[in-house]
Amino acid sequence: MKTLVLDAFSGISGDMFLGALFDLGLSKTALEEQLAKLKVTGYQLLVDRTSHSSIYGTNFDVILADHQVKDNGITEHGHHHGRSFATIKQLIEASELSDSIKQRAVKLFQEIAVAEAHVHHQKVSEVHFHEVGAIDSIVDLVGAAIALDLMKIDRIVVNNLADGTGTIKIAHGIVPVPVPAVMQLRVGTKIPIHLRSEVTTELITPTGMALVKCLASEFDTTPSGILERTGYGFGNREIGSLNALRASIYNTLLSNQSVEQEQDQVMLIETNLDDVTGEQLADGIAGLIERGAKDAWSEPIMMKKGRPAYKLCLLADPAQRQILVKYLFAKTPAIGVRYQLLKREIMQRKVKLIKTSYGKLHVKQLTYGEVTKLSLEHQELAKLATLNQRPLVDLRTEILAELRQIKQKKGI
C-alpha cells in the first residue's frame, strides 16, 4: 500500500499539492493527456524545478491564455471568471475521465460548494464560484484527482497542518484568516490546524482545505513502511520562511524491501469464514498484502455443523495489528479475530534493480550464515516473458544464469 504523507507546515493549496506530486515523480505528459479529456483549452501547465531557501522543489502553476478561453461554449475573460457548481459538475461528468476520477473531482467541488452556500446563505445550486470556478482551480482540483490515480496512492496522511492569521482580500472583500470557506469546511470534522501568529496571510486555501477534508484519512502520524521519496511543492506567497508543502511516499509492500536481521517477531492473525466467496477471499488476501501484511493465505477447514469454511491467516508487524484487523472487519465477513506473537528465523535480504539482456527487474539476494541464493519477482518475470515472447520457465532459467555470471564478475 502506498501512503502519501503531507507535511503542511506552510499550509496547502491546489498548486502546492500538485507541485509536490510533480516533485515526487508525477508525469506532466500523463497528467496533460488525462486533463485533455475535460475538453477545456486555453491554458498551459508550468512545472518548474527550482530552489527556495536552498531547498530544491517544484513550482506548479496554470498559465491562462491572454484573452478568450472557451470550454463547452463558456468564454473566459481573465483569471477570476466564475462558474456555478452545476456547470463544473456537468463539465466533469461529461468528460472521458474514469468514473473513480470523476467521483473524486466532483466530491472536491461539492465540499467547497456546500461551504460557500452556508457562508453566503445560498442554495448549493445557486453557488457561483469565483476563484475556485476559474480554469486554474478546475485544473488544480481535477488534476489532483487524476494525479492520485496515476501515482496509485492508496492513503493520505496530513501532518502539521498550519494556517496564518490577519486578513486577506478575496472576491467578496477583506476577510479574516482562516477565510470563511476554510472555517466552514472544518465544521463537523476533527481536522487539527494550528495558527502561525508570525504569518499574517492565508496559508490554507479553500481548494487546499477541500483536498485535506476529502482525501486525508489520518492526521499527525507517521505510517509504517519504507520511505521511498520526498518532494516539495512551493507556494507563491512570501511569508518570511520556507513556503512549501512537503510530500513523502511510504510503501508497505514488502517484496522489494531489504531485510538486515536474521530474527524478528511477528503477529499471526486468524479468522474463520464460512460465508465467503472465492472472489472475496482472493481480494481480501491481496488487500492485506497491500496494507503491509508480511504474508497472507487461506486454509480449508470444517466448522461446526459440518460447514466447509476457510481460515484466513496473515503474518504482520505487531504495530500493524489495528490497521489489518480493521480491514478484515470492513472488507470480509469476519466478525472476530484471534492473534498471537511468534518468533521466527529469516534470511537477510538485499534488493537491487538489475539490467539484464531481457530487461530490468528486481533481484533479491538472500543470505543466512553461509547460505546464499537469488530470488526473482514472478510478476516482473511474467511481463518480461511476454515482452520477449519467451516461455516463462525458460526465461527464469536464462535470467538466473545471466545473474550468476554478473555476480561472478562484479557482484549484484
Mean pLDDT over the full length of the chain: 87
pLDDT value at 262 more than 90 = no
pLDDT-wise least confident of 73-82, 129-138, 269-278, 355-364: 73-82
Whole-angstrom distance, CA of residue 258 vs CA of residue 255 = 9
Query: Which pLDDT band, with edges at 50, 70 and 90, does 221 fall under?
Result: confident
Question: pLDDT tens digits for 196-208?
Answer: 999 999 999 999 9
Provide the β-strand partners of residue 313: 270, 297
Query: Which pLDDT band, with edges at 50, 70 and 90, does 75 fall under?
Result: very low
pLDDT of residue 103: 95
pLDDT of residue 245: 97
Query: Which pLDDT band, with edges at 50, 70 and 90, does 378 fall under?
Result: confident
Whole-angstrom distance, CA of residue 2 vs CA of residue 4 = 7
pLDDT value at 47 more than 60 = yes
Phi, psi (degrees; rounded to nearest 5) at 189: -120, 170
Query: Which pLDDT band, with edges at 50, 70 and 90, does 233 fall under?
Result: very high
pLDDT-wise least confident of 210-224, 258-272, 390-404: 258-272
> Computed over its alpha carbons, how large is the radius of gyration of the chain?
25
Tell me the C-alpha to C-alpha distance, in Å, between residue 391 and each of 66, 321, 357: 57, 40, 15
Work out the percent of the chain whose per-residue pLDDT is above 70: 89
pLDDT of residue 220: 92
pLDDT value at 254 more than 90 = no
Whole-angstrom distance, CA of residue 44 vs CA of residue 33 = 12
pLDDT-wise least confident of 89-98, 138-147, 281-290, 335-344: 281-290
Please tell me whether the overall predicted TM-score, pTM, comes out greater than 0.75 for this model. Answer: no
Quick one: three-class SS letters along the chain?
CEEEEEECECEECHHHHHHHHHHCCCCHHHHHHHHHHHCCCCEEEEEEEEEECCEEEEEEEEEECCCEEEECCEEEECCCCCEEHHHHHHHHHCCCCCHHHHHHHHHHHHHHHHHHHHHCCCCHHHCEECHHHCHHHHHHHHHHHHHHHHCCCCEEEEECCEECCCEEEECCEEEECCCHHHHHHHCCCCCCCEECCCCCCCCECHHHHHHHHHHEEEECCCCCCEEEEEEEEECCCCCCCCCEEEEEEEECCCCCCCECCCEEEEEEEEEEECCCCHHHHHHHHHHHHHCCCCEEEEEEEECHHHCEEEEEEEEECHHHHHHHHHHHHHHCCCCCCEEEEEEEECCEEEEEEEEECCEEEEEEEEEECCEEEEEECHHHHHHHHHHHCCCHHHHHHHHHHHHHHHHHHHCC
Provide the β-strand partners of residue 299: 311
pLDDT value at 64 more than 60 = yes
C-alpha cell at 343: 518468533
Task: Annotate 2-17 with b (16+ C-beta within 10 A) or e (fewer).
Answer: bbbbbbbbbbbbbbbb
User: Which residue is associated with the grid cell 524545478?
Assistant: 49
Answer whether 89's CB lies under 8 Å from 109's CB.
Answer: yes
Query: Which pLDDT band, with edges at 50, 70 and 90, does 137 fall under?
Result: confident
pLDDT of residue 224: 67
pLDDT of residue 138: 87
pLDDT-wise least confident of 19-33, 55-69, 233-247, 368-382: 55-69
Q: What angle do CA 15, 17, 21 make, to 5 degrees?
A: 115
Query: Which pLDDT band, with edges at 50, 70 and 90, does 117 fall under?
Result: confident
pLDDT of residue 186: 94
pLDDT of residue 121: 83
Sign of CA dihedral 272, 276, 277, 281: negative
Tell me the C-alpha to C-alpha distance, in Å, between residue 117 and each of 110, 348, 367: 10, 58, 62
Whole-angstrom distance, CA of residue 275 vs CA of residue 252 = 29
Q: Which residue has the higher pLDDT, 224 or 236?
A: 236
pLDDT value at 133 more than 50 = no
Query: Which pLDDT band, with edges at 50, 70 and 90, does 404 fall under?
Result: confident
Answer whether 163's CB lies under 8 Å from 212's CB.
Answer: no
Query: Which pLDDT band, with edges at 50, 70 and 90, does 70 fall under?
Result: very low
